[in-house]
Amino acid sequence: MSWLLDRLVGRKPDLTPPQMQRLATWQALPPPRQDAPFNESRYVVVDVESSGLNISRDRLIAIGAVAVANGRIRLDDSFEIVLQQAQVSEKDNILIHGIGGTAQREGMAAADALLAFLEYLGKDPLIAFHVAFDESMIGRAMRTFLGLDFRHAWADLAYVAPALHPQLARRYRTLDDWMGRFGISNYARHNALADALSTAELLLALRPGLAPHGMASFGGLKRLEQEHRRQTLSV
């Protein structure tokens, strides 16, 4: 629980000079244009696995991500990493994500794993299904192990999908629901990379509906999400 104590007392993580240089190099990257057309952009679709569902207490175990670049899923531009765990998660948790005790203990040191993710990501926008959990788990790990306030551009397909298909919004709520609707398969559900790939396929399945709304860019995707959030809160 030393990470929790560090967080409570505001202690900075002890990064090595090379780690500090890697972080500074990432921070210096310019952000991408959010109005760039979908076909000229790179988005990173991400999913995480954790020791549980409590965003305040549970730990980030794995990150999986795949790029959608120039309108296509790039399997050769993907990322998967397990963060080294001092304490292995519970057996029931392991049965969900399949990352066993040995893999957790032998994962990459958290600071290096997170730096590797930042270097893979660059400053490109992030996309997920139910962003709040992924964003919270990644953000807390960034603060704990890198001292980084990770404020990044995210878009949430859990709001975009029903915004584009309002007639399905009451019956289709989960990623599995929307995967079934569009005939998307998943080779290893609850594996971070496999779930990121399914989410990327969902993005492409939703894409034809974006152009008629004038939303065929990340900025447009984000506006559509925000509009649907407001409508949901007003109901």
pLDDT digits (tens, 9 = 90+) for 121-133: 999 999 999 999 9
Q: What is the pLDDT of residue 9?
A: 45
CA gap 84, 105 in Å, rounded: 5
Q: Tell me which of 115 and 230 has the higher pLDDT.
A: 115
* Domains of the chain, earliest start first: 42-234 (3.30.420.10)
Question: Side by side, which strands form the sheet with 60-69?
Answer: 72-82, 60-69, 42-50, 126-128, 154-156
CA gap 46, 170 in Å, rounded: 25
Q: What is the average pLDDT value for the chain, to the nearest integer?
A: 91
From residue 87, alpha-carbon distances to 55, 113, 192, 229 in Å are: 17, 17, 20, 37
Q: How far apart are the first and last CA of the chain?
A: 41
- pLDDT band for position 3 (50/70/90)? very low
